[in-house]
């Protein structure tokens, strides 16, 4: 009688574990782009509005990557939604396509990081392309969460998650019988923790590898794709 419950529990944890891994990748990507691409947000894309406003006040020319970040994010999310919409309810295919897109885009940024020193001139065309590849990857990541798992939280911006974790955590402490609050706490704190750990890893990678730090999120994205997509494929075909 306990075995099915254990299996169901494992299945319910799978989306959260994936989201936590994606949150870590987002944290690494965001910090490395900020440190190496002249204060550019690749995951927290709306933060670029603040950067543009500060540039305007200081009389600096706006960064091309900062100007294009939000339009590129929206465009990629829209395209991803349209493409995966043709797949119906096939979550396995949608997972492969969206997480595959993230891995390819981050890998492209990593490869380009070996062809130029983007940190020396973040406004250079290749540096801008590297930054926008990272933005596009984050758009694919968050589209995956919304379309495949129907999650309302995001792995790119932590403010809402932090508020949810705080409110639900305090509420569940005050009233241990409030299962809804406890569930919200359990669903959000790993995402926040994953992003924080990712930021620390990204900062360390930027310090050790400089521009080549783009390799770190790319390798992790590929590993996550292999770990999430391939086992589910083989698990379906093996019995046959």
What would the pLDDT profile of 16-38 be if each residue is shown by its tens digit? Answer: 899 999 999 999 999 999 999 99
pLDDT band for position 231 (50/70/90)?
A: low
* pTM reported for the whole predicted model: 0.87
Q: How confident is the model at residue 14 (pLDDT cuts 50, 70, 90)?
A: confident
Which of the four CATH numbers 1.20.1250, 3.10.20, 3.30.70, 1.25.40 does domain 18-233 have?
A: 1.20.1250
d(CA 47, CA 234): 40
User: So what's the pLDDT on residue 8?
Assistant: 39
Residue 135 pLDDT exceeds 90: yes
- pLDDT at position 30: 96
CB 103 within 8 Å of CB 37: no
Percentage of the chain lying above the pLDDT 70 cut: 89
DSSP per-residue codes, 129-166: HHHHHHHHHHHHHHHHHHHHS---S-SS--HHHHHHHH
Cβ atoms of residues 87 and 79 within 8 Å: no
Distance from C-alpha of 203 to C-alpha of 222, rounded to nearest angstrom = 20
Q: What residues contact residue 24 under an 8 Å CB cut-off, 6+ apart?
A: 194, 195, 197, 198, 201, 220
Q: 165-205, pLDDT tens digit by residue? A: 899 999 999 998 999 888 888 889 999 999 999 999 999 99
Inform me whether the pLDDT recorded for 70 exceeds 50: yes
Does residue 125 carry a pLDDT above 80?
Answer: yes
| pLDDT tens-digit series, residues 113-124 | 999 999 999 999
């Amino acid at each position: 009688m306990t075995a099915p419950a254990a299996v169901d529990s494992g299945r319910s944890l799978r989306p959260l574990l994936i989201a936590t891994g994606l949150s870590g990748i987002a944290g690494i990507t965001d910090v490395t782009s900020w440190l190496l691409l002249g204060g550019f947000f690749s995951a927290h894309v709306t933060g670029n509005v603040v950067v543009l406003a500060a540039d305007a006040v200081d009389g600096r020319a706006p960064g091309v990557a900062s100007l294009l970040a939000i339009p590129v994010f929206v465009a990629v999310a829209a395209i991803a939604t349209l493409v995966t919409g043709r797949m119906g309810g096939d979550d396995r295919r949608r997972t492969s396509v969206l997480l595959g897109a993230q891995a390819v885009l981050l890998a492209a940024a990593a490869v380009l990081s070996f062809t130029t020193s983007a940190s020396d001139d973040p406004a250079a065309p290749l540096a801008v392309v590297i930054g926008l590849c990272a933005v596009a990857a984050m758009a694919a990541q968050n589209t995956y969460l919304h379309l495949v798992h129907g999650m309302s939280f995001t792995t790119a911006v932590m403010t809402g998650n932090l508020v949810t974790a705080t409110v639900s955590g305090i509420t569940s402490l005050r009233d241990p019988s409030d299962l809804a609050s406890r569930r919200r706490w359990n669903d959000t704190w790993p995402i926040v923790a994953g992003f924080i750990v990712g930021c620390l890893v990204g900062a360390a990678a930027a310090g050790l590898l400089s521009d080549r730090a783009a390799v770190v999120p790319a390798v992790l994205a590929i590993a996550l794709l292999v770990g999430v997509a391939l086992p589910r494929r083989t698990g379906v075909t093996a019995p046959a």
